[in-house]
Structure 1
Amino acid sequence: MYLSPKVAVVIPSYKVKNHILSVIEAIGQEVSKIYVIDDCCPDGTGDFVENNCNDERLVVIRHIENQGVGGAVMTGYQAAIEEDVDIIIKVDGDGQMNPRLIPSLISPIIDGRADYTKGNRFFDLEEIRAMPNLRLFGNAALSFMTKLSSGYWNLFDPTNGFTAIHRNVAKSLPFNKISHRYFFETDMLFRLNTLRAVVVDVPMSAKYGDEISNLKISKIIGEFSIKHTRNFAKRIFYNYYLRDMSLASIELPLGLSFLLFGLTFGTYQWINSANTGLPSSAGTVMLSALPVIIGLQLTLAFLGYDINSVPNNPLQNLKNHSNTKMDNGVQNAK
């Protein structure tokens, strides 16, 4: 007999008092628990929700200190895991996301096709026009950096906070290491890749009304660049040198070495030629150009391998299969 999965929604709440009741009201009956995490909100969102919402599914959890959106979501994840929830959804409380899209968001997880799903506001080109230009440009830049650092080349809209995760995968996350602030969504993708979890984009719409975004692209671009570089280096080390070795493990260092040598030697010769007024010999030009060409070819070969290495075997299926075998073993022993 098929049993419907137990689904919970986590709503990190900080200065969303004007929208959160309508968000909760729009959550359908497919959800059995709603966790509102009052992240030390100065507006008292937790008290406001408890006093004005009679939904029996509601659970309010309060933080004594502000921990950021990531910290609030981790608190919600842990509460849901303790209550044996099968699928945990994260919805922002500012009203930009439509909770009625939850069935579409969790469908790939229920079908066993994904471990983690996220919304993508870039599927419909007509609806992209409704997105503010700054957000559009910022998301495009962040998406490229996220592809490099996370290894999920098939994803877009990395800062989208409309997500769902299977319990088996959530339990494997290093909660104490995941970024608690605005880097949370993109850091989650990096952590999921280290687990080799399957992540799927789900088309969605977003509305932009009177809500005020606390995320300023100009303020976080430097911080994000540093963290993306760090995650990229970690991912390459984990996947290509610690966990496994392949031809790509040789292509990357060789390619970068050839590129660095060719560019450095070529720049030095160009400066020397400019100072002396003497043209460089054909051999000197080739000695500069050939390493650059070879290095570029090897680096592109590595990127091609990396792009084709996106996880495609859902982790939840492997864990469910392992648990089934264990249960069968226990039954046979009895």
Structure 2
Amino acid sequence: MSNITVENSSAIEETTAKPRIAVVIPCYRETRQILAVLGKFDAMVDHIIVIDDACPDKTGEFVRENFSDPRLHIVIHENNQGVGGATLTGYDKAIELGADIIVKVDGDGQMDPAMIKTLIRPILRGEADYAKGNRFYRLNGLSKMPVFRLIGNLALSFASKMSSGYWKIFDPTNGFTAIHSKVAQELALKKISRDYFFESDMLFQLNIARAVVADVPIQAIYGEETSSLKISRVLLPFFAKHFANFCRRIAYNYFLRDFSIASVELVVGVIFITFGVIFGGVEWYKSSTSGITATAGTVIIAALPLLVGSQILISFLNFDVHNQPDRPLHPNL
């Protein structure tokens, strides 16, 4: 979690009127667990929004027939839009209902609704605009996570740090999230990925908006349900999307929105390394084909730009790591 100090945060929390909280539950084949999940939301939740994403098992109708609660709202998609599309539909409905904070909970029973109060606390205190769960904080819960999924999540977490710019955030594919509705309305929601890349793409869009994100430790819950997210299938496509977002973030934050010494470091570092690689490669090829050993001067001309360029890029990276947003948006919206 970002190290943020907010003066009189407890006073702010106590004097502010009770926020209206909406829970969004995107559903696809969730009839086995959905009723148990719905029964766990206490009185602090004002709206429960179930999104039936064109479920073959008609989860929406199943809920309508088997669960009665005045807070319940059901939206049924005619066509499947993916978990991201279903979540964004829920966001729109929550904003329409006047919610202040929108919480996303999956319908598979792997997220504890009792943790909602803890999840939204950074937003209530004015410390963050968006909060997400982190299953990796408590090591005792990781023993139940399959090894391949654990390794895949570690790799995706590092890729997400680079693409989003939130270097202190971990477990990017965790779907237990909360966002202030005012911040949600500031994002380019139509541009966010509709598939399983949704959570990672959301972090990218939040950074572009300069929103503050908080990591909240949660306990991992693994029941009988099998996750639809197959790390082996999404690893390469996710890396490609992360690389595209990384390029967009760097271009926007360091060349369009601002141009600082870090921008100069990036340009100079890339030029030096590119020159060193090309010059060194050409000279190595000449030496290997002719059998004539390269001179010390030639080696230095190739190596020096690589060393200097690497140091300059490390300096840029250090700047980027410390360039995370630290002033929440929603108090001023």
TM over 0.5: yes
Report the secondary structure of 2:144's partner residue.
Answer: coil
Which stretches in structure 2 are left out of the alignment for 5+ residues? 1-14
Q: Identity of counterpart residues, as a percentage? A: 53
| Residue in 2 that maps onto 1:121 | 135
Q: What is the Cα deviation at residue 113 of structure 1?
A: 0.2
- 1:198-213 aligned within 5 A: 198-213=212-227
- 1:249-264 aligned within 5 A: 249-264=263-278
Find the aligned partners of 2:168 and 2:282 in 1 and give their Cα distance. 40
**Structure 2 residue 80 is the aligned partner of structure 1 residue 63:** no
Verify the 8 A CA contact 2:50 2:60 in the aligned structure 1: yes
| Residue in 1 that maps onto 2:305 | 291
**Structure 2 residue 206 is the aligned partner of structure 1 residue 192:** yes
Aligned counterpart for 1:12 among listed residues 2, 14, 26: 26
Q: What is the Cα deviation at residue 55 of structure 1?
A: 2.0
Q: What is the Cα deviation at residue 164 of structure 1?
A: 0.1
Report the secondary structure of 2:190's partner residue.
Answer: coil
Find the aligned partners of 1:309 and 1:2 in 2 and give their Cα distance. 30
For residues 280-308 of structure 1, give each alpha carbon's deviation from its aligned partner in whole angstroms, at most 9, with x where no partner exists.
11101100110000110111111000000
For residues 228-271 of structure 1, give each alpha carbon's deviation from its aligned partner in whole angstroms, at most 9, with x where no partner exists.
11111111111111111110111111111111111222122223
Find the aligned partners of 1:230 and 1:62 in 2 and give their Cα distance. 32
**Structure 2 residue 116 is the aligned partner of structure 1 residue 77:** no
The size of the alignment, in residue pairs, is 319
Aligned counterpart for 2:50 among listed residues 25, 36, 47: 36
| Residue in 2 that maps onto 1:96 | 110
**Structure 2 residue 286 is the aligned partner of structure 1 residue 272:** yes
Report the secondary structure of 1:123's partner residue.
Answer: coil
Report the secondary structure of 1:60's partner residue.
Answer: strand
Q: Which amino acid aligns with 1:176?
A: K
Find the aligned partners of 1:107 and 1:249 in 2 and give their Cα distance. 36
| Residue in 1 that maps onto 2:63 | 49
Q: Which amino acid aligns with 2:76?
A: R
Aligned counterpart for 1:21 among listed residues 28, 35, 42: 35
Aligned counterpart for 2:236 among listed residues 213, 219, 222: 222
Verify the 8 A CA contact 2:142 2:220 in the aligned structure 1: no
| Residue in 2 that maps onto 1:165 | 179
Which stretches in structure 1 are left out of the alignment for 5+ residues? 320-334
TM-score (norm 2): 0.94
Q: Which amino acid aligns with 1:106?
A: I
Query: How large is the Cα RMSD of the aligned pairs?
Result: 1.0
